[in-house]
Amino acid sequence: MIGFQIRQRARAVDAAVVERYRQLPVANVSDVMSRMFAGGAQLRPMHDGTVMGGPAVTVRCRPGDNLMVHKALEVAQAGDVIVVDAGGDLTNAIIGEIMVAYAKKRGLAGIVIHGAIRDSAVIRRGDFPVFAAGVTHRGPYKDGPGEINVPISLGGMVIEPGDLMIGDADGLLCVSFDDVEHIYRETAKKHAIEEQTLADIDAGAYDASWVDARLKALGAAP
């Protein structure tokens, strides 16, 4: 039934892929993905900054209602990230301290809420990754409708069940299941180049000649 359905995931990125991505900055992954994909700058880390990574369990719910998010906590497996499209509405919180504690106890890897949370002071002190768009004290309803493991979109970023979700202090990003290997290889290369650049700066050997070369190419060189 459309509006009330719970699907099974057909596939999911594995733990080895997740661990490799956890060693890379989200910003580097974003650069390799042409800086075209993001869940929106309003989705910020609400926890202590611990890096997040895991396959997505997706949830679409009515703004202000968390019935299917509770069910997703039961459906999700250890290492999963629950990703909730709550319409970006900040009127009612979708999760709070109790649901976060339960998610952590079950071994989940994080929760993303395109909406609001509450009990933010407790969540902020904790190391369980929570990304959300805002905070409110007003609690949720539990009437539905909602859907689990369907395609969703957060700020134009499409997420399929089982896709890789990553997040750090800069924000969060989805890497599609089919692209994880290619994107990882290219990101690892970019990260190595940036590490060398930092080493060059530290050694006083940084070459900034590219700036004038770029200006010349644009017809703006002095």
Q: Which residues are annotated as a binding site?
A: 96-99, 118-119
CA atoms of 188 and 135, how far apart (whole Å): 35
Alpha-carbon distance values, 140 to 118, 144, 208, 221 (Å):
10, 11, 53, 57
Alpha-carbon distance values, 10 to 3, 74, 149, 162 (Å):
20, 17, 9, 8
CA atoms of 65 and 95, how far apart (whole Å): 10
Q: Which residues are annotated as a binding site for substrate?
A: 96-99, 118
Say how far residue 173 (Cα) sits from the centre of its chain. 5
Q: Which residues are annotated as a binding site for Mg(2+)?
A: 119
